[in-house]
Amino acid sequence: MEHLAHFTIAGFTYYEGAMVFRKLKVGKALELRLDSDNKFDARAVAIYYKDSKLGFVPRGENRIIYKLLTLGMNKHLKTTIQKIDSREHPESQIMVVIHLIN
């Protein structure tokens, strides 16, 4: 397992994060999905907890992740919650880590 990226979730305040915040715990698995209809970023990668959209991989971090997803390598990406701090600004409350696995 190799570290690929870590970041806070972009756009967390605009999606369903507040509705599922109490269910989110350090170590919980998250899902990455391409958001090809995103008019703001052609390489947008959305982050989901089950069926709830939490936000996006930040634009500065999504280039490699986008490429891996378009190549169908989602099973080789392990995305988990690394840190939660409810005292932070909502855009900085959830830290995510992505590892590349064999």
Sign of the alpha-carbon torsion through 5, 12, 37, 76: positive
Ordered by where they begin, the domains of the chain are 2-100 (3.30.70.2330)
User: What's the CA dihedral at 57, 82, 6, 64 to 10 degrees?
Assistant: -60
The whole-number pLDDT of residue 93 equals 96
The whole-number pLDDT of residue 11 equals 95
Q: Tell me the whole-structure pTM to 2 decimals.
A: 0.95
Tens digit of pLDDT for each residue in 46-82? 999 999 999 999 999 999 999 999 999 999 999 999 9
The whole-number pLDDT of residue 102 equals 85
Percent of the chain with pLDDT over 90: 97
Kindly calculate the radius of gyration of the chain based on its CA atoms and give it in whole angstroms. Answer: 13
Average pLDDT, whole number, for the chain? 96
